[in-house]
Structure 1
Amino acid sequence: MSHTLTDTYGRRITYLRLSVTDRCDLRCFYCLPQGFTDFEVPEHWLDFDEIERVVAAFADMGVQRLRLTGGEPLVRRGLPDLAAQLSSIPGIDDLSLSTNAVQLAKQAQALKQAGVSRLNVSLDSIQADRFKQITGGPLDKVLRGLATAQQAGFHPIKLNMVVMKGVNDDEVEAMVQFCIEHGYTLRFIETMPMGDTGRDAADHYLDLREVRARLEQRFELVDAVMPGGGPAKYVQVAGTDLKLGFITPISQHFCDTCNRVRLGVDGTLYLCLGQDHSVELRPHLRQGISHDGLVNLLTEAIARKPHKHEFREKPTQVVRFMSQTGG
């Protein structure tokens, strides 16, 4: 490691979330609007070798954790091949994947063999009709994907539930029981005002402190930790193996300890989920920038990372959808 990535606020950047596509085979109403087609053109996608170059530069500066995201990463053709390329980069100690699991049954074994070690799966409901209302997709394929991933040896498998008032908040306890029975980790997430869809979902915002208080009336919760580079705060349900995570970007933001940046499928490096600070890497890559030049470019980019998002103060500020940012 020849450099370290530290921003102007003293935060060391060790985690890259890498979007391999902005497309998705679901349409969660808080993420992508029905009928949306304004996706990035394939000619602007970073190819696998370009992605590998960027990740190698980040790894050279101390980034150890890499997460493949989207959109839905499993719709990117050849994803296991890319995972194998990236898992072999010196310095990348943890390669994980975020997915909706619709296509996971077909790819779980190949991804495991390619070096993906952990999975995060979006699952906002375990009621088939409600799942379809939220996502437009089939719950049975997701459950089949989860079971196949367990058989392939993935552990832990973390389920991400965006808890929304009046939509699925009545399923919180049922989701806890589901995860106890099946051996999954469960993480609750607050809605965020990303794009028009995210702002429309703001009417369903629920402070997760209320969810935790509800759960404490039914379960004994003790502090716990989990592997991973993300912001979740974990507890364990006493008497079980279940760990619960709470991701609270609105009620209790975690900007002071932010250790991550996001790379869009088009090579845009987003320095904050809730701000517009970004740097375009694709033009430099296609003009033949050297490895040292790329390292210098990333160092300069990290110096522009803002101190915090402003979801509460400026909820209309970010107009891009979550799928464009990279999860």
Structure 2
Amino acid sequence: MTQTLTDSYNRTIDYLRISVTDRCNLRCSYCVPPTPFAHMNHTDILSYEELIRLVRVGISLGIRKVRLTGGEPFARKGLIGFIRELSALEGLEDLAVTTNGTLIADEMKNLKEAGLTRINISLDSLRPERFAKITGKDLFAEVKRTIEGALKTGLNPVKINTVLLDGINGDELEDFARLTFDHPVHIRFIEYMPIGEGSGPAHSELLAPAITRRLEALGPLTPVHRSAHDGPAQRFKIKGAKGEIGLISPMTNHFCATCNRLRLTADGHLRPCLLSDAKVNLMDAVRGSADDATLATLFRHAAGIKGKRHDLTGHAVHDMMSSIGG
């Protein structure tokens, strides 16, 4: 019998984000530090078999949605096969992936057939030269092909995640928004979050109130009704648009009261909150003699230590975004 996983504040936890790797083929400035750092050893990350077991335990507790993240998830070999195994699990209703889109332009049909429900593509510039400067790689054309392929294949919705920063890409806000007039894409503008040692941009963040004012200049914003598997985005349509706009505002509009997720890092730690260093070690249990009931208890413990709200303005998160899984 399926149980319900709840935290101390009676929030139902039905969403698990899984980082399958901390490795990435890009070096986006707000995600990884400029100085050299060590990646996890392959033996120190959960195998696909271990991940399948943990997802099964999660499903028995009421997890219904899984999103795969990284690093760059497709930097790990065999991910499409893993997606196929996940999609076959009874009780899983929604399977999505967040990717930089640089490695999978020719894989859209295979991903759809493997059972992927939706795709989020991280993209912080529509200008090839600027894209190369932000990411360290001249791969904008590959990302564009991925977006076009996802739309053609029918992965729906296709979401584009954009972190806006004044002095970096803030002048492209309207360009991203106008994409929704020509294509049925969902643009998600995400407030910058200072995560990791030494984080903190040498520029000004663009926050939700300023973003909203600039969007309203393009046309009236009509709120979009939330669906069952929605994340924290406030959703809008601009009049006449085929697609929609979403605002994810962890800094100015905490959505902690409705947070329904846990995060599983590639090295087997269950994090109740992206914006907190609190975590529960599953790796030792899953590689030891722990049975599924013990693993379920650890899931419940992680939910139990989930805070009422984050305090990112007062406390830094020390782990890098690339190691947590955004």
Query: Would the TM-score normalized by the shorter structure come out above 0.5?
Result: yes
Give the distance between the partners of 1:13 and 1:270, measured in 2 at CA. Answer: 12
Q: Is the 8 A contact 1:225 1:233 kept in 2?
A: no
Amino acid paired to 1:88: A
Q: How far apart, CA to CA, are the structure 1 residues paired with 2:180 and 2:201?
A: 26
CA distance in 1, matches of 2:163, 2:200: 14
Question: How much has 1:151 moved relative to structure 2?
Answer: 2.4
1: distance between equivalents of 2:47 and 2:274? Answer: 23
Is 1:177 matched up with 2:181?
no
- SS for the counterpart of 1:83 is helix
Q: How far is 1:45 from its partner? A: 1.0
Tell me which residue corresponds to 2:236: 235
Give, in angstroms, the shift of residue 240 of structure 1. Answer: 1.9
Residue 153 of structure 1 corresponds to 154
Which residue in 2 is equivalent to 1:126? 126
Q: Which position in structure 2 is the counterpart of 1:21?
A: 21
Q: Which residue of 1 aligns with 2:94?
A: 94
1:320 aligns with 319
Query: Contact between 2:218 and 2:238, CA under 8 Å: does it hold in 1?
Result: no
For 2:159 and 2:149, locate their aligned partners in 1 and report how far apart those are by CA, in whole Å: 14
* TM-score, scaled to structure 2: 0.96
SS at match of 1:105: coil
Quote how far apart the aligned CAs of 1:237 are: 1.0
Distance in 1 (CA, whole Å) between partners of 2:175 and 2:161 is 14
Asked whether the equivalents of residues 13 and 63 of structure 2 are also in contact (C-alpha less than 8 Å), the reply is yes
Single out whichever of 284-293 and 73-82 deviates more from structure 2. 284-293
2:60 maps to what in 1? 60
Please, what is the CA RMSD of the aligned residues? 1.4
Matches of 1:204 and 1:140, distance apart in 2: 28
**Quick one: which amino acid aligns to residue 74 of structure 1?**
F
Shift of 1:176: 1.4
- CA gap of 1:49–1:279, structure 2 versus 1, over 3 A, is same
More helix by share: 1
Compute the displacement of 1:171 (Å).
0.6
Q: Alpha-carbon deviation of 1:35?
A: 5.6
Asked if the contact 1:191–1:202 (Cα under 8 Å) also holds between the matched residues in 2, the reply is: no
- By how many angstroms is 1:34 displaced? 3.9
8 A Cα contact 2:277 2:319, kept in partner: no
Matched with 1:296 is 297
Percent identity over paired residues: 38
The equivalent of 2:215 in structure 1 is 215
- Distance of 1:39 and 1:55 partners within structure 2: 24
1:226 offset after TM fit, Å? Answer: 5.0
Q: Deviations over 1:183-219 (max 9, x none)?
A: 211110000010136x322733121111111111221
CA contact (8 A) 1:126 1:175 kept: yes
| TM-score normalised according to structure 1 size | 0.95
Aligned 8 A contact 1:83 1:114 in 2: yes
Moved more, 70-79 or 151-160: 151-160
Query: Are the aligned partners of 1:19 and 1:264 in contact in 2 as well (CA < 8 Å)?
Result: yes
Q: Quick check: 1:277–1:306 contact (8 Å CA) kept in 2?
A: no
- Partner residue in 1 for 2:80: 80
- SS class of match (2:132): helix
- 1:142 corresponds in structure 2 to 143
Aligned length: 324
Stretches of structure 2 that go unaligned for 5 or more consecutive residues are: none
Cα distance per residue 1:264-312 (max 9 Å; x no partner): 0111111111111100101101113212221122112211111211111
